[in-house]
Amino acid sequence: MKVLVTNPIAEAGLDRLREAGHEVVTDYESTGDDLLAAVADAHGLIVRSGTEVSREVFEAAEELVIVGRAGIGVDNIDLDAATEHGVVVANAPEGNVRAAAEHTVAMTFAAARSIPQAHARLTAGEWAKGEFLGTEVGDKTLGVVGLGRVGQEVAKKLDSLGTDVVAYDPYISEERADQIGARLVDLDECLDAADFLSVHTPLTPETEGLIGEAELAQLEGGYLINCARGGVVDEPALAEAVGDGILRGAAVDVFAEEPVDPDNPLLSVEDVVVTPHLGASTEAAQENVAVSTAEQVVAALASEPVPNALNAPSVDETAYPRIRPYIDLVSTMGKVATQLLDGRVERVEISYQGEIADEDLDLVTASALQGVFEPLEWQVNAVNALRIAEERGVEVTESKTRTSEDFRSLVTVTVGADGTEIPVAGTLFQGDEPRIVLVDGYRVDAIPSGRMLVVRNYDEPGVIGLIGTVLGDHGVNIAGMFNARGTIGGEALTVYNLDDPVPDEARERLAEDDRIIETRFITLGEDD
């Protein structure tokens, strides 16, 4: 498969892609229409912050499976458009955490002790020892805005130097903040308490301009450090606050526009330390990020879970072997249930019973929905299944219970519409062999593969023989048969695994017999 790389990454990442058998195309110059042409036949796309992955890109790339962001921030990628088109977006949040945190700490000390300014004066021939009176970081209060991976690492490092750490992050628990030695507060209290304010949020509509003139005034007498994303801090307001002495200093590694405009006001304020987005610029970080991103692209192209997927269900790699057999099983069950319903799907319920209920099952649920929707010819995969359900007005519910009467684990997919519900349940036998064990209330032991004929009939002598004869007359070979009945002489249901499609003429012949209530020919996407 073709993987297009539009921004430079470490060679180790490119090598990993090639080792997996993929064609790697590097194109660091294409933009606009040239980029759309380059990505048209790509299955994977790897970018950094220098490539804008817009809706137009996703519309042009019909074969695209994954966009890998070699770094953390994804504000240059249209996540909504990716999800609508069923494309995984994954970043590499771990690879440069240490590098970004260390750079933040370095920038904190550089601003507090005026290190770049003193260096410039000394190399210019001035011994300006008496003009620089620094601030000690120890025994001060560090305010962290955004307690994600990098924010946590910065908090740990500066906490070890004797700072009191307060943090603002509406998406993290107090327990987690306590674990890293931070006290969780609201933004106003964070600004009021901080001597040093370190910003570590992604750039989103919610965080754009989060730190503006009013917030900087609350930080009076302190320092602001931004090594996260440009645009979170109002740059003109920050330049003015430092220039007017409201803040003692600032350190900025990221800008709203990069490369930075030479007229950016932050560049002309002496007490603002600036670096050109160097947070992840270490040899180790670049290699880690490249390999991590490549691994996720390889996983996506192999239809494996993507650990750092931002818009698709993911699962811990240690748990994946336990749930993997259920992924294909529930997808098949969803296909069977929808084809038995033979109509518009209004609701889907996925229930987990027994040991399986203890697992992280988001990916399994998404696969069940994918199976339900595929026979309806909706363009669906595990990335956009929930989005499609919402857009189509399909109600989705999930339930879990640790008890299961007859099986160690049991999964049931139920589809419904217009007062009718069709449940299909499955489990794994020894050796992870998948089985469908319930179809619309009937206990069966069916192998979920290939082609299936589901027949409802009255439990009378000769019916199964008739079905076998009709199928044989039309050249259809029966690979397996699984029969169930409610009561003697009542209704029965039989599932046939077939080697061949069932012609319409065969089903019409069966329908002519009064003992046959209904036949449904089901295809599962294998050799059909």
Evaluate whether residue 137 is within a structural domain.
yes
141: nearest Cα among 110, 173, 181, 84: 181
The answer to whether the CB of 356 falls within 8 A of the CB of 416 is no
pLDDT of 165 > 50? The answer is yes
Residue 229 among the catalytic residues:
yes
SS3 call for 518 = strand
Evaluate whether residue 315 is within a structural domain.
no
- The single residue of 63, 174, 220, 258 carrying the catalytic annotation is 258
Predicted local confidence at residue 191, as pLDDT = 98
Evaluate whether residue 306 is within a structural domain.
no
pLDDT in tens, 377-394: 787 888 888 888 888 899
444: nearest Cα among 325, 333, 327: 333
Evaluate whether residue 310 is within a structural domain.
no
pLDDT of 432 > 70? The answer is yes
Evaluate whether residue 195 is within a structural domain.
yes
The answer to whether the CB of 153 falls within 8 A of the CB of 98 is yes
Query: Which residues lie closer than 8 Å to 461 by C-beta, 6 or more apart?
Result: none
Q: Is the dihedral of CA 356, 357, 361, 365 positive or negative?
A: positive
Number of domains, the chain: 3
- Which residues partner with 107 through β-bridges? none
Do 68 and 209 lie in a common domain? no
Query: For position 448, which CATH number holds?
Result: 3.30.1330.90
* Identity of the highest mean pLDDT range in 341-345, 412-416, 428-432: 412-416
Question: What does the DSSP assignment read for 210-236?
Answer: -B-HHHHHHTTTSEEEE-S-TTSB-HH
pLDDT of 527 > 70? The answer is no
Confidence of residue 525 (pLDDT cuts 50, 70, 90): low
Radius of gyration of the chain (CA): 30
Confidence of residue 506 (pLDDT cuts 50, 70, 90): very high
Residue 433 among the catalytic residues:
no
- The single residue of 43, 277, 451, 507 carrying the catalytic annotation is 277
Q: Which residue has the higher pLDDT, 184 or 525?
A: 184
Mean pLDDT of 280-297: 93
d(CA 154, CA 144): 8
For 384, phi then psi, to 5°, come to -110, 10
Mean pLDDT of 173-201: 94
Query: Which residues lie closer than 8 Å to 189 by C-beta, 6 or more apart?
Result: 166, 168
Do 435 and 491 lie in a common domain? yes
pLDDT in tens, 246-275: 999 999 999 999 999 999 999 999 999 999
d(CA 283, CA 277): 15
> Token match 């304020």: residue?
269
pLDDT of 524 > 70? The answer is yes
SS3 per-residue string spanning 51-114: CCECHHHHHHCCCCCEEEECCCCCCCECHHHHHHCCCEEEECCCCCHHHHHHHHHHHHHHHHHC
Q: How many CB atoms lie within 10 A of CB 506?
A: 21
Which of 105-114, 213-222, 307-316 has the least mean pLDDT? 307-316
Evaluate whether residue 308 is within a structural domain.
no
pLDDT of 141 > 50? The answer is yes
pLDDT of 526 > 70? The answer is no
Query: For position 42, which CATH number holds?
Result: 3.40.50.720
224: nearest Cα among 257, 203, 246: 246
Residue 103 among the catalytic residues:
no
Do 128 and 85 lie in a common domain? no
Mean pLDDT of 343-367: 92
Evaluate whether residue 307 is within a structural domain.
no
First to last CA, the chain: 25
- The single residue of 229, 435, 451, 507 carrying the catalytic annotation is 229
DSSP state of 356: G
Mean pLDDT of the chain: 92
Q: Quote the domain boundaries for residue 238.
A: 97-274
Do 84 and 109 lie in a common domain? no
